[in-house]
Amino acid sequence: MRKPIIAGNWKLNKTVEEATELVEDIKVKIMDLDKNQMPTVIVSPVFTALKSIADILEHGQGIHLGAQNCYWQDSGAFTGEVSVPMLKDICVTYVIIGHSERRQYFGETDENINLKAKAILNHGLIPIICCGETLEQRESGQTDNVVKNQIIADLKDLTEEQTAKSVIAYEPVWAIGTGKTCESSEANRVIKLIRDTVAEVSGRDAADKIRILYGGSVKPSTIEEQMSQSDIDGALVGGASLKAEDFAQLIKGTMLVRAPK
């Protein structure tokens, strides 16, 4: 059985002090939960807060550290970038890549995302590869093609083992930060399509192992229905991950329907 994931993407929010307060708060709220039953929990603060949060999480609280981006070269003349070995150095284990905000505002392409995925996996970290259609693409019936093409390009030349270890997040752009959650059955349909695409590219075994999350206005009131779907393995959460109580509720809601056996 695939272990579920609840991942917070804090985006461009929180000073170091605010970020450490939030993670301390989350720790207290999930303190009494059975760690064996908990989903994989990930928080992804801004770069400047990563080290302070890594220090707080040092003693293994069942919370993993994620970064929101990386560069694919290890070092060199690439002003403003942060490399995977640098993230590894401060105990980051997951890296979100290809988020629609990066595709839209920073010109990130599927070729870039593929290079980043390879660098992340080659250094032993796990990429969370985001994909999803815009409202315009959905309304013109292009959803399936857009998402399929993104996944084929993003996973290009990864080994089966690397693909199996990776995480994909299906985030319809029109559902991000809008309060308009994608119907759970429709999210499940697209996620199934993504899994079948992974099977075509990397084989059924990798497709059965890869964890595929839904993202887009996930909140405590939607999580149980989302996690009851056959192919949704968890959530990548923006707004609700900035409130300790809501984030803890997402973890608890996931445990109610999908506690790992």
Positions that interact with ligand 13P (CB under 6 A): 9, 99, 171, 176-177, 215-218, 236-240
Q: What is the largest CA-CA distance in the chain?
A: 50
Structure tokens at 205: 């075994």
One-letter amino acid for residue 39 of the chain:
P
In whole angstroms, the minimum distance from the beta carbon of 173 to ligand 13P comes to 9
Find tokens 């003349």 and name the residue: 77
Q: Is 231 left (phi over 0), alpha (psi -120 to 50) or beta?
A: alpha
By 3-state DSSP, what share of the chain in percent is helix, strand and coil, each rounded to 5?
50, 15, 35
Complex with ligand 13P: residue 30 or 175, whichever CB lies closer: 175
User: H-helix or E-strand containing 12?
Assistant: none
CA 177 vs CA 101, 123, 160, 171: distances in Å: 11, 32, 33, 11
Number of DSSP helices (H) and strands (E) in the chain, helices first: 12, 8
* Position of minimal CB gap to ligand 13P: 238
Q: How far apart are CA 168 and CA 154, in angstroms?
A: 10
Residue 171 is a catalytic residue: yes
Query: Catalytic residue among 64, 99, 108, 133, which?
Result: 99
CA 223 vs CA 13, 20, 196, 242: distances in Å: 23, 25, 24, 16
In whole angstroms, the minimum distance from the beta carbon of 176 to ligand 13P comes to 4
Which residues are known catalytic residues?
A: 99, 171
